Amino acid sequence: MSGRRANPIIMMLAWRAKKLRVEDVEKILAAVASIGEGSFTLTDIIERLPDEVKADRNKRRRVGNLLQALVSMGYLSKPSERKWVKNAPTLSHFLSQHLLELSSIEMLSPRLPPVGGRVIGRRQRLDQASSA
């Protein structure tokens, strides 16, 4: 990570694909983003990864697990057993759509007054009643 803080989304994806470091997840996402439209295979992704990931058998296996996690999120689809398709050009494009939806949902949620405000209001009423 060379001095920079890891993105929380990347960290969560690394948790889902055990034995992959945050840096590995970043490289895999970059490889997926570099693939054009249409379907692709696990081999297509692995060919685009650095030799350090290609050489480690466990990491190569985990690439498939990460792709499956991206399917469960909705970023990728799996039209056949060995092929994947991107549902958005990049993960950031995919997530931005969902963040806008989330924002609109949060705006619709009822705004409750702070709990502390109601307690103070009751105390003030009690104080006013006792002083009267």
Cα separation, 122 vs 79, in Å, equals 60
What pTM was computed for the model?
0.71
Per-residue burial over 35-74, b if 16 or more Cβ lie within 10 Å, else e, is beeeebeeeebbebbeeebeeeeebbebbeebbebbeebe
Q: Tell me which residue has tokens 């989304």.
A: 9
What mean pLDDT is reported for the chain?
83
Distance of alpha carbon 95 from alpha carbon 74, whole angstroms: 10
Minimal CA–CA distance to 32: which of 77, 79, 96?
77
Tokens (6 digits) for 40: 């692709």
The one-letter code for the residue type at 111 is R
Query: Has residue 48 got a pLDDT over 90?
Result: yes
User: Residue 74 — pLDDT band, cuts 50, 70, 90?
Assistant: very high
- Is the predicted pLDDT of residue 32 greater than 60, yes or no? yes
Phi, psi of 86 (to 5 degrees): -80, 140
Q: What pLDDT, in 10s, does the model give residues 100-117?
A: 777 777 777 666 666 655
- Fold observed for domain 8-131: Arc Repressor Mutant, subunit A (1.10.10)
Q: Which residues contact 49 (CB under 8 A, 6 or more apart)?
A: 27, 28, 31, 63
So what's the pLDDT on residue 127?
Answer: 62
pLDDT score recorded for residue 72? 92
The pLDDT of residue 1 is 45
In the predicted model, what is the mean pLDDT of residues 33-57?
A: 92
Average pLDDT value for residue range 16-33: 90
